[in-house]
Structure 1
Amino acid sequence: MSTDTSTDMRIAVFGANGYQGKLVVAELARRGIDAVLVGRDPDRLARAAAAVGVPDAERRVATVQDAPGLVGALRGCDAVINCAGPFTASGTQVVRAAIAGGLHCVDTSGEQLHIRAVFDTFGTAAREAGVAVVPATTDACVPVDLLAHLVAARLGPLDELVSTHVIAGGGAPSRGSLRSAIGTIEAIRAGGLVHEDGDWRPATDAPRTAVTLPGEPGATPVAPFPLPEVITVPRHVAVRRMAGLTEAGLTERLNRPVPPEVVDSLPEGPTGEERRRQRFRYVLDALGTGGRRARGIVRGSDTYGTTAVIAVESARRLAAEPPGAGVLAPAQAFGAADFLDHLGRHGLRWSIEEPPAG
């Protein structure tokens, strides 16, 4: 069982000067783990280190375009956390550099196509290098993936699993999130991928158009969405069909993305107070092949802060307690209940409910 006590390790943060990257560096400092800040601009790295209270942290300059330089910048670290999106465009270069350097690797991507590409491309190379790669160590994918594993342990093989994300408040997205949405807008508009009968295919229809959320009397309109756990969960759960949904209002807003030239003029991300006021609910509705149903529920606040906690804990566990080599889903790398209980100390709550028999 993992504890909150850190061993002597060094973890690199690629994209450390970004909004999510700075939160990850701050979480590493809180945990007493040495951070190595990596990015393409030395001045921005210095400002980021100072902004989070670690002005003397080691900083190394590297870009994804310079593969040997990126491998060198990661040298001497136990793991790397990639926070530099859009990940579909450049995230695989960081995975490749980590494998070449013999480091464990996680990232903070929620981009479905990037996550699938990591699984499809790097499994053999990661196993041969003896390192673990766990993409999508975020507020949503990790707890939902782990919870799906526990739900399936109750119900057995599943006929259907539907994941629904609903987020309220939290201010405007970060610039990085906006750039990721712009870079993957076609996948968002198409509704992403579903998993069906052993493979992934484009979503052509929604399993439902409304979902009744816990504690709410009325149904919330929902629409298909490219959720990361649709890529990870079927790798460890026997499920005939899995799909992702989010509130319909979010898909409507994302279908009208901010022009790329406007993004740089926007605030870097939500304020601390806005993040504290945010609430999220992730709901897993499962139907077993025998007809039993269950619902897994994840509740929390502050998606960006929770992602920092999850990414740091994921990288720390990979370095301290290697689960085996390869590209792994969260539930393949970590003990599901243990990790979820760890997150409970950071305000995340989870439960599994079954309707009464009869």
Structure 2
Amino acid sequence: MKIVVVGGAGRVGGRVVSEFAPHKHVSVIVADRVKPQDPARQFIAIDLADPASLRAAFAGSDVVINTSGPFDRWGSVVLDAAIDTGTNYIDVCDDPEPTLEMIGRDAAAKKAGIRAVIGLGVSPGLTNYLAMVAAQDLDTVDLLTTFWGDSAEGRSREEAVERALGLAHSFEEGRAAYTHLIVQTSSEVQVWRDHAPVKERAWRKAYRVTTSRGETGIYRVIGHPEPVTLPNTVRTRDCLNIGTVDAGADRLMLPVLDRVIAGEIDAGQALLEMARQLREKPESIMTERRGEQLPRKIGAAAVGERNGGRDGVVVFPGGPIPGSMSLITARPAVVGALHIDEVPVGVHSPEDAFDARTYLEHYARLYWGAGTEPFVLDRAGASAVVEADS
């Protein structure tokens, strides 16, 4: 199998490349503007603005894995080149608008006979499959959520100070992930309410996820592709993606985000303002403990009816999810590439590409080893996910 990783010299792309190392039947080519640090890597120079260079890089390959954002600019460009060369395609896009744009290439992909999966990272990606498992456990679904992050309520003052100063440092660095977070949380995002897509202000509404053992975390609405694609496969009244940086920091962000919306500051300035507040008053992120932390930092939860009564479930990955964002984003794409022949021809969201349980079994075998369950399903009851005080 020959795989081309677009953006393979970057953080996520480099992880994708290294994750294929144990698979001796896979030949990986790094396609990027700059050479990877490891001189042993196969490399081909590309220019995303030059489709001819993409077509030349993809020719003769089995799968293209696109890790190069922003996807609203380059996603369809890379997918179109894959369609032109008859090459299967996977990406880790986590923005709703380019997701819909690329799904709109379905007819062209079918004509070319290729398989494409959009958003096969951790969220979206792994979370979509957990959501499918959650929904399938109920007879009807009223609210389906995917969630990510660790709200970490109930820190001591010392723990809160350490966390606040760490966040302040990250915000001051202005990393792309945090800039993207500010943009997402200060905008209106598409969610699914009352069986229809609607736009609402991100980060305002909060939801609490709770297991049958009382493990819990609080999260806020944010824009992601899951609520855009999952309702096409699952009949649910409401569908949301909810996330957290930290329960206390999430709340601290709200007035800063109001200033972004008002046009007083931009995303970079918002990060610096957050950093200033965290350094000046780090104990401000202390929150009351409501229960033990949830056992995983990603998952899905659903509430509805089962056997004539109100019920709900929380579903987690069966094994550990590492702390590195680049690694947990890369691994689902690697699993997808290794099993690309199971995907129907055309362009698909994750839940439409693979059977959820089958995909999670593939993931479990590769990353958690024999004997590990692909997911953990907790029948938490009607309080599995509920709206909380913001």
Shorter-chain TM range is 0.7 to 0.9
Q: Deviations over 1:162-200 (max 9, x none)?
A: 2222247999879xx943553675443125210235543
Gaps of 5+ in 1: 1-8, 263-277
- Alignment partner for residue 317 of structure 1, among 308, 331, 339? 339
| Aligned residue number for residue 190 of structure 1 | 187
* Deviation at residue 218 of structure 1 after TM alignment: 7.9
Please give the residue correspondences for 1:296-311 in structure 2 after superposition, counting only pairs within 5 Å. 296-299=314-317, 300-302=321-323, 303-311=325-333
**Is 1:235–1:329's contact at 8 Å kept on the other side of the alignment?**
no
Once the two structures are superposed, the pairs formed by residues 98-137 of structure 1 within 5 Å of their partners are 98-119=82-103, 121-137=104-120
Q: Percentage identity across aligned positions?
A: 22
Mapping for residues 333-352 of structure 1, pairs under 5 Å? 333-345=353-365, 346-347=367-368, 350-352=375-377
With the length of structure 2 as denominator, give the TM-score of the two structures. 0.71
- Residue pairs, 1:103-252, within 5 angstroms: 103-119=87-103, 121-167=104-150, 178-179=175-176, 182=179, 185-190=182-187, 192-197=189-194, 199-204=196-201, 209-214=206-211, 220-247=217-244, 249-250=249-250, 252=253
Contact 2:186 / 2:202 at 8 angstroms: preserved in 1?
A: no
Q: Give TM-score scaled by structure 1 length.
A: 0.77
What residue in structure 1 maps to residue 385 of structure 2?
none
Amino acid at match of 2:21: A
Shift in alpha-carbon separation, 1:250–1:103, aligned structure 2, 3 A: farther
Q: Which residue of 2 aligns with 1:326?
A: 346
Match among 36, 45, 48 for residue 29 of structure 2: 36
Q: Retained in 1: the 8 A contact 2:131–2:300?
A: no
**Aligned CA distance change for structure 1 residues 89 and 183 (closer, same or farther; 3 Å):** farther
Q: Secondary structure at the match of 2:14?
A: helix
Tell me the equivalent position of 2:55. 71
Gaps of 5+ in 2: 153-162, 258-265, 273-294, 383-390
1:136-170 deviations in whole A, cap 9, x for unaligned? 11123222211222223222442221222224799
Q: How many residues align?
A: 321
1:230 offset after TM fit, Å? 1.6
CA contact (8 A) 1:162 1:242 kept: yes
Segments of 4+ in structure 1 off by > 6 A? Answer: 168-174
Indicate how the Cα distance of structure 1 residues 213 and 157 shifts in structure 2: closer, same or farther if over 3 A, else same: closer
The RMSD of aligned alpha carbons is 3.6
Partners of 2:130 and 2:300 within 8 A in 1: no
Larger-gyration structure (1/2): 2
Contact 1:155 1:292 in 2 (8 A): no
Deviation at 1:24, TM superposition (A): 0.5
Is 1:283 the counterpart of 2:308? The answer is: no
Q: Which residue of 2 aligns with 1:265?
A: none
* CA distance in 1: counterparts of 2:381 and 2:243, whole angstroms: 27
C-alpha deviation, 1:60, in angstroms = 1.2
